Amino acid sequence: MILEGVAEAFRMLITFDPEIYKITWLTLKISGTATFISLCIGVPLGVALAWIKFPGRRIFISIVNTAMGFPPVVVGLWVFIFLSRNGPLGFLNLLYTPSAIIIAQAIIASPIIIGLTSAAVMQVDDKMRLQIKALGATKIQMLFLVLREARYSIIAAVIAGFGAVISEIGASMMVGGNIKGYTRVLTTATVMEVSKGNTEVAIGITIILLLLAYSVTLFLTLLQQRERS
């Protein structure tokens, strides 16, 4: 069965199966967009969490750390409630659209990037910050210098965030609906094929999903190692 699944994966790739390529591209577009949004949210919040001292900061850090392990199906349920017709954001008509999946995945990835970015910035030596400040750097310049110092860990945070969203199924199924040609991604397509009894096709799709995740992760890892060199 596994060998047949591997053969099916190569068949779909070599024959340029239009359906599987469309699903793969949609998966990459949705997860990539969600990761980018979570990066724009997570890095500033992570830096603020690391630098700004305020009452209840430890509690907030513990909340972020807890949110890093939120089950995707829980996030999907709350996004579904908010985007449903009777929900507070129902007027946007986003339920069962790619945008709904992006929102859910961004919520899943943001705590991961916030937590890892915060930890990375905290590890930057305080003496370095004092030296930068003593040399007359502005706050913006100091921010970019510290982020540059912590860039390897931030890239690792992006890898972790992307890995979390491209592999999740509960939220995508709940708010996207697995609509063919519109919201069907690789993970939801796998579940559908298993429910239909097409195990070999499901295995083939999972192999394509793994290849996609590995390709993106390899690119980010090479970028990280190139920066290190």
The DSSP secondary structure of the chain, one letter per residue, reads -HHHHHHHHHHHHHTT-HHHHHHHHHHHHHHHHHHHHHHHHHHHHHHHHHH---TTHHHHHHHHHHHTT--HHHHHHHHHHHHSTTSTTGGG--TTSHHHHHHHHHHHHHHHHHHHHHHHHHTS-HHHHHHHHHTT--HHHHHHHHHHHTHHHHHHHHHHHHHHHHT--HHHHHHHTT-TTTT--HHHHHHHHHHTT-HHHHHHHHHHHHHHHHHHHHHHHHHHHHHH-
* Number of Cα atoms under 13 Å in the Cβ half of residue 82: 11
Q: Looking at this protein, which amino acid is placed at residue 150?
A: A
**Contact call for residues 166 and 212 (beta carbons, < 8 A):** yes
Angle (CA) 78-81-87 rounded to 5° is 140
**Nearest by Cα to 163 from 122, 218, 97:** 218
CATH superfamily to which 2-49+58-228 belongs: MetI-like (1.10.3720.10)
Task: Please tell me the predicted confidence (pLDDT) of residue 227.
Answer: 59
136 burial class (0-12, 13-18, 19+ CB within 10 angstroms)? exposed
Task: Please tell me the predicted confidence (pLDDT) of residue 92.
Answer: 92
**Contact call for residues 184 and 129 (beta carbons, < 8 A):** no
**Contact call for residues 24 and 223 (beta carbons, < 8 A):** no
Task: Please tell me the predicted confidence (pLDDT) of residue 40.
Answer: 94
**Contact call for residues 209 and 27 (beta carbons, < 8 A):** yes
Tens digit of pLDDT at every position of the chain (229 positions): 888 888 888 888 888 889 999 999 999 999 999 999 999 999 999 998 988 888 888 898 899 988 898 889 999 999 999 999 999 999 999 999 999 999 999 999 999 999 999 988 888 777 777 787 777 777 788 888 888 888 888 899 999 999 999 999 999 999 999 999 899 999 999 999 999 988 999 999 999 999 999 999 999 888 877 756 5
Task: Please tell me the predicted confidence (pLDDT) of residue 229.
Answer: 59
**Nearest by Cα to 79 from 175, 167, 168:** 175
Task: Please tell me the predicted confidence (pLDDT) of residue 26.
Answer: 95
d(CA 216, CA 6): 21
